[in-house]
Structure 1
Amino acid sequence: MQSGQVLQQRYQLQTVLGKTQGRQTWLATDLTNQSSVVVKLLVQNPQLQWQDIKLFEREATVLKNLQHPRIPRYQDAFSLDTPEGSDLPWFGLVQDYLPGTTLQKLLESDARITEKQARAIALETLQILIYLHELNPPVLHRDIKPSNLLIGQDQHIYLIDFGAVQNRVKAERSTMTVVGTYGYTPLEQFRGQTVPASDLYALGATLIHLLTGVAPADLPQKKLKIQFADLVSLSPNFRTWLEILIEPTLEHRFITARQALQTLQTGINKPLKSISQPLGSRVKLQSSPHQIIVKLPAPKIRILSMSLTLALMFALFLLLRVLTFLSDFMSPIIFYAISSLWIVWGIILIYNIIRYLSLLRYQFVQFNKTQFIIEKQIYGICYHRQKRPISDLQAVQQSVQKSQAQSFLPQSGKTELDIVTLQTAKQTYNIGIELTASECAWLAQEINDWLKLIK
């Protein structure tokens, strides 16, 4: 590609803004309205892999559905004709051009920011992350760093470069595609288990880089935690807030961007206790120094889905009655065929009865100082019970599960269900099927807090 070249008979390339292996970013002119745009190109080369194409397509798909004033607006996506001798086409993505300076440019000029400036950057970035993380499904950026945060001419912060973006297909259920930048990427992301708190870690590492002038990868570590306090003078509250952001252990970090923002604004650094039970939650929790008992509600019955199912079953019943009556005047083969249809109808009926009975089950989880117990009950009758020593419990955390795994549950249109996982060395136990993400964050907090007390 070269300056002056016109793509799609519309976008005239002007200046290279960035260039990495397999990718080029150009400032271009949209000839239809003479506006400036950014054109990102995935360029055919021998090192190009299929995963690169998938990431590029995912970026375009996600950006197309984002509407936020601090995220460059998607305009267009296209593929170029396959150049001669190449096996794959080139791909293009067009976004609004935002004039400004990246925070990386400030670092390259040896500039450092003050605590006041760091707070302002954090506040605006967290507001963007709240928008992304609270979408359904949540969107994870996965590559927050100084070069991907831009100070616009209006002095506001913009989040750019969604090349590593991912809809929240969790961790243990997804393929091991590790993206991110060393020094800004938390441990769970290297394991392919990216969560919203992973973006918070990257933000914390970015702020530390801006405050100290030293890249996070070059700072000393103690028990895998970045050590920065001796290099910069900060107020105790802000330093503690930053330390919570970069906790290597996920359970010790802020869980949501909203929680991190509220804590920064109030100055009260309570990384877990600041999460309260969401309004309208039907989860019942009883806690004492000796035990904690959680009663998890049955999924809500979807009246429309049930009504349609009953109507369909009744219509099939009437149809079969009519066919049965008519079969008396037909050959035996037709009679046996209709009898087989009755058997099929019976199987469908039994399946739907089991399917909707599953909506009446409650889940009870009990923790005491020696063991944890998970029970499933219907009408007070326990039909499944699991018991494990409390010493086997390694982690309790918010997670998601593909909804298809719940074969008897009527689907709500979601491809993923928020859950809380109880992790042991040999097995993972899922509780709280169909809770909201905020309920799962709160419940994981309460269980972790109680476990800390008994230790």
Structure 2
Amino acid sequence: MEQLHQPGDIITERYRILDTLGQGGVGITYAAKDLKTGQNVALKVLSLRRMEDWKKIELFEREARILAQLKHPAIPRYFDYFQVDTTDDRSFYIAQQLAPGKSLAVLIERGWHPDEAQVKQLAIRVLKIIIYLHKLTPPVIHRDIKPQNIILNREGRVFLVDFGAVQDTYHYTVTGGSTIVGTYGYMAPEQYRGQAVLSTDLYGLGSTLLFLLTRQSPADLPQRQLKIDFRPHVRISSEFADWLEKMLEPVTDDRFSSASEALAVLQGKQALIKSSPKPKLQKPQDSPIQLTQKDNLLVVEIPPVGLRSKLSQVLALVNLVWNGLLALTIWMVLELSLFLKSSNLIPLGICVLIGLWLLTRFLYGTLSRTRVEIKEQEFQLQKWLLGSCYQTVKGNTGDINQVNLKTIQSPISNNTLRLCVFKLKHKDIIFGTLLTPLEKKWIMKEMGNFVKKIHGFK
């Protein structure tokens, strides 16, 4: 990104640019002197004319709004938010306290080799900042914890900076925001799907600590069963390795439940509860579904269900009763001239339409064959009936936000139905409605794990 200011430039007759501190995902940050107070400040700027993504304005304004609410000694104080208009541009500025010290990335680059005790102390201090953020109402998720955003000074004080990726959970809940923000190597797998939870910050901190211990980006370390295989590359106690491994669990539910729990375990005030390996969900016995997985390809072949599930049997019974009574009624009308009144014809017509709808749903549900193919970049779902393909859905695998079972109310009973669903950004793709409950659970688990692997570990 082209520099907006040079040393010596004066902004709004108050801030003199001293140097460039760095460039983040949202804006460029300069060291500047406040000519009014004499203080050195960090001045972050975003140019409207040079902006490629309009989403950055929202992120920038959210950063300013949230920074104004934060009051913590380890978070640089917020001073001001303003904009400057020129004939050909509009620039937005955030002024805040300049954190004294150097980033962890710079310190490592200059030869710093922290030992386990130093890394632990650093982790404790950052965890206390995260606890503060997560206990706010609504909780604040930083989403970009990395070596460049943690400042350490000579006295050992730690500062967390650059809230350009920050997210308050109220915003996420209301808008369902799915912007992918963060830094490759330090992003938790869920961030690749545009999602973030409280433990997302724990993953970022764990990745940062791993960088301090290995002097490598976590993205460059090998993986085993979707996890970073860091143990052969570090010299730390087994207890600390176990703690770090839990911070870096790819599945959110397997990480510490909160930053407070992570801190308590690290300080020895609470025992570490290891994630017990979940039993692998096996293919249901006698199921004709074929699931094939190799490298970056997953194929699921679902043959016609027929009458092998209870749901298809219930639907068959409903069809038999409804259309049987309907056929008897029509026979009585035609042969015996019963109910042959004009006022009865409309209700009878409605009953015929309902019968046809039930029969169509039954035939398509029990006789259709479905094929789902998921690759690293794209997916395809096809449905076939009697050798003819009647539905094809294609899309980018990266657009799949969730793969899960969706519960709805049954239209023909008081019971609920569970549907197999691909949740995309703008629509849901539903299939396998009449499969057995175990089949649905099995294939959705396999598909979900595969999509998580594709999203989070490319």
> Counterparts of 2:216 and 2:44 in 1: how far apart (Å)?
29
Deviation digits for residues 324-355 of structure 1, max 9, x if unmatched? xxxxxxxxxxxxxxxxxxxxxxxxxxxxxxxx
Quote the offset at 1:189 in angstroms.
1.5
Instruction: Tell me by how many angstroms 1:137 deviates.
Output: 0.3
Does residue 182 (structure 1) correspond to residue 184 (structure 2)? The answer is yes
Q: Secondary structure of the residue that 1:48 maps to in structure 2?
A: coil
The structural deviation recorded for 1:175 is 2.4
Distance 2:417 2:126 in 1: 42
* Amino acid paired to 2:165: A
In the other structure, the counterpart of 2:146 is 145
Number of residue pairs aligned between Structure 1 and Structure 2: 289
> Once the 2 structures are TM-superposed, how far is the Cα of residue 48 of structure 1 from its aligned partner?
2.9
Show the counterpart of 2:260.
Answer: 258
In structure 2, the CA distance between the partners of 1:385 and 1:61, relative to structure 1 (3 Å rule), is: farther
| Structure 2 equivalent of residue 122 of structure 1 | 123
Return closer, same or farther for 1:222/1:270 CA change in 2, 3 Å cut-off: same
| Structure 2 counterpart of 1:233, from 229, 232, 235 | 235
SS of 2:267's equivalent in the other structure is helix
- Residue type at the aligned position of 2:188: P
- What corresponds to 2:114 in structure 1? 113
Alignment of 1:243-254 (within 5 A): 243-254=245-256
The TM-score normalised by the length of structure 2 is 0.58
SS for the counterpart of 2:128 is helix
SS in structure 2 at match of 1:127:
helix
Q: Deviations over 1:168-193 (max 9, x none)?
A: 14479612200001111111121122
Matched-pair identity in %: 40
Distance 1:189 1:172 in 2: 18
Cα distance between partner residues in 2 of 1:172 and 1:219: 37
Of residues 259, 267, 271, the one that matches 1:268 is 271
Please name the residue that 2:79 is paired with.
75
1-side partners of 2:232 and 2:184: how far apart? 22
Aligned to 1:398: none
Residues 138/272 of structure 1: CA separation in 2 closer, same or farther (3 Å cut)? farther
Q: Structure 1 length normalisation: TM-score?
A: 0.58
Counterpart-to-counterpart distance in 2, 1:182 and 1:215: 9
User: Which amino acid is 1:235 matched to?
Assistant: S
The one-letter amino acid paired with 1:42 is L
Distance 1:214 1:113 in 2: 14
Does 2:208 align with 1:206? yes
Q: 1:114 and 1:235 mapped to 2: Cα distance?
A: 11
Instruction: Give the structure with higher Rg (CA).
Output: 2
Counterpart CA distance in 2 for 1:127 and 1:21 is: 25
SS at match of 1:91: strand
For residue 232 of structure 1, report the CA deviation from its aligned partner: 1.2
Residue identity in the other structure for 2:10: V
**What's the CA shift for 1:271?**
5.6
The one of 35, 42, 61 aligned to 2:39: 35
Shift of 1:124: 0.3
Measure, in 2, the Cα distance between the counterparts of 1:122 and 1:249: 21
Could you list the runs of 5+ residues in structure 2 that have no partner in the other structure? 277-406, 408-412, 421-439, 445-458
Q: Is the 8 A contact 2:26 2:60 kept in 1?
A: no
Q: CA deviation at 1:196?
A: 0.6
8 A contact 1:112–1:212 mirrored in 2:
no
Rounded Cα–Cα distance in structure 1 between residues aligned with 2:13 and 2:232: 56
**AA matched with 1:174:** G
When residues 193 and 32 of structure 1 are mapped into structure 2, their CA distance, relative to the original with a 3 A threshold, is same
Tell me what 1:157 maps to. 158
Question: Contact (CA 8 Å) 1:172, 1:192: kept in 2 or not?
Answer: no
CA drift of 1:269 comes to: 1.1
Q: Could you say what the CA RMSD is over the residues aligned between the two structures, in angstroms?
A: 3.2
- Give the SS at the match of 2:200: helix
Q: Letter of the aligned partner of 2:267 in structure 1?
A: Q
Contact 1:149 1:158 in 2 (8 A): yes
Partner of 1:133: 134
Go from structure 1 to structure 2 and tell me whether the alpha carbon gap of 1:21 and 1:147 turns closer, same or farther (over 3 Å shift).
Answer: closer
Q: What is the alpha-carbon distance in structure 1 between the residues aligned to residue 50 and residue 10 of structure 2?
A: 24
The one-character-per-residue Cα deviations of 1:121-151 (angstroms, maximum 9, x if unpaired) are 1100000000000111000000000000010
* Stretches of structure 1 lacking an aligned partner (at least 5 in a row): 274-373, 375-383, 393-422, 428-455
Q: Contact (CA 8 Å) 1:263, 1:269: kept in 2 or not?
A: yes
C-alpha deviations, 1:21-53, integer Å up to 9, x for none? 872211111111211111111124444321011
8 Å contact from structure 1 (residues 40, 92) kept in 2: yes
Q: Once the two structures are superposed, what CA deviation does each residue of 1:336-380 show, in whole Å capped at 9, x if it has no partner?
A: xxxxxxxxxxxxxxxxxxxxxxxxxxxxxxxxxxxxxx9xxxxxx
1:16 aligns with 2:20: yes
